[in-house]
Amino acid sequence: MGITARGAGLLVAAVVLLGAGFRFAYPELTLLGAAAGAAVGYAALVAAWRPRLTVTRRADPDRVARGEPASMTLTVRNTGRLRSANLLAEDRCGDRSVPVPVLRLRPGRDTEVRYDVPTHRRGVVPVGPLRVTRRDPLGLVALARPYGVSVPVWVHPRVHPLTAVPTGAGRSLDGRVDGVPHGSITFDSLREYVVGDELRRVHWRTSARVGELMVRENVDTSLPRLVVLLDNRAAAHPQRVGPVAESFESACEAAASIVTAAHRADLPVLLLFVAPESTPPAEAQSPAGEVDATRALGPLDRLAAAELAAEADAVRAATTRLRQDRLGDTLVFLTGPGGRDELGHVGALRGAYPSVVVGVFGAAEPTPPGAAGLVVVDAADGAQFAAEWDGVRRW
């Protein structure tokens, strides 16, 4: 509860009048002081009354690419029995406030406000909660309360179309790694037979031993398995315009483009960050506007929530983990001008990853050719990276 300047002045006047009235035995001053104190007390009681309001939100859409339009529809309903007089409401949308008309809202009625959500920057835009301020008729006391929950709107990086994809790598028992453009089938596991399975895939020897039909599960081991490693260290992106590092924004666009192209081609892809990821909002919103805590965050959501971190030696730890796990056969490392000093650690992964591609964004000078034996793509932004990516012939 907050007392206004008018209320504070009246309260001080009440104390002074009561003190002077009792001290000098002036009943008129005492009466005026008591009236002033009673007015402040009445204002506090009126402001303390909590109106019964129901707040619902609907984002259209709740996930959008940077620069595309998105809007939020807010509905406020008065579920109480009294008219909501002397109410001021404003909704929080990112860094700005949106006024909501709820003054003298009748019982059982609602008011609806629709406004645009800023999408000019990548990120997670928190919308809400609604802040309702109740004042007394005299304007002496104001009390603000939140209504509803905060809902995130995910602004994804721009996605630039990519046409080229890696050809994959087939591994033989003698350790050779060959490019395999058409794929091969390899035994993976056994499972129980279900109606519709081909009989030629039944493993009869195992079926006779266990007493029920067992079917072979095969996988295509030569499908390209992409690992995208995004350098989210602050040291890798030293050039900033205000709070924004354009090289990091370009790297996020490149990562989003690669992930989207891999999903469209039904290729397995894994997105990793050099430094630990920042904690995204715990709850995701469904398209209907309801909170769905079970909705998993996809790669584009993680890129929307990505932030720069102050991690000095994170590249060494990340490359060590990649060498041990061997998560794919094509590694794409995306960094800024400050990350070129770490290309030696990335180049050491060529034994575990047959194809290693490095994207460097925002560098004033091109990366020296043949750096650590890597395929290096220098680009000013995500669009130029997409054009250079489609021109790569050596994976």
Out of 3.40.109, 3.40.50, 1.10.10, 3.90.220, the CATH code matching 226-276+311-390 is 3.40.50
- Mean pLDDT confidence for 263-283: 80
Tens of pLDDT along 201-238? 898 889 999 899 998 876 555 566 889 999 999 999 98
State the average pLDDT over residues 312-338: 86
Length of the chain as a residue count:
395
Q: Give pLDDT, residue 395.
A: 57
348, 111, 337, 363: which is closest to 236 by C-alpha? 337
188 versus 250: the higher-pLDDT residue is 250
Output the pTM of the full model. 0.75
Confidence bin at 285 (pLDDT 50/70/90): very low
Q: CA-CA distance, 383 to 378, in Å (whole number)?
A: 12
Q: pLDDT tens digit string along 164-185?
A: 777 655 544 444 444 444 444 5
- CA 161-163-166 angle, to 5 degrees, is 125
Look at residue 229 in the predicted model and tell me its pLDDT. 94
pLDDT of residue 85: 66
Cis? peptide before 69, omega within 30° of 0: no
Rounded distance between C-alpha atoms, residue 202 and residue 123, angstroms: 50
Query: Are the CB atoms for 258 and 157 separated by under 8 Å?
Result: no
Distance of CA 301 to the CA centre of its chain: 5
CA atoms 183, 189, 194, 200: torsion sign: positive
Q: What pLDDT digit, counting tens, does each position of 228-241 carry?
A: 999 999 999 988 88
Interatomic CA distance for residues 81 and 86, integer angstroms: 15
For residue 265, the tally of other CB atoms under 10 A from its CB is: 13
Least-confidence region, from 27-36, 166-175, 245-254:
166-175
pLDDT of residue 63: 92
Q: With pLDDT > 70 as the criterion, what percentage of the chain qualifies?
A: 85
Instruction: Give the integer Cα–Cα distance in Å for 336 and 339.
Output: 5
What CATH topology corresponds to 53-156?
A: Immunoglobulin-like (2.60.40)
User: Using an 8 Å Cβ cutoff, are 323 and 349 in contact?
Assistant: yes
> Do 278 and 307 contact (CB within 8 A), yes or no?
yes
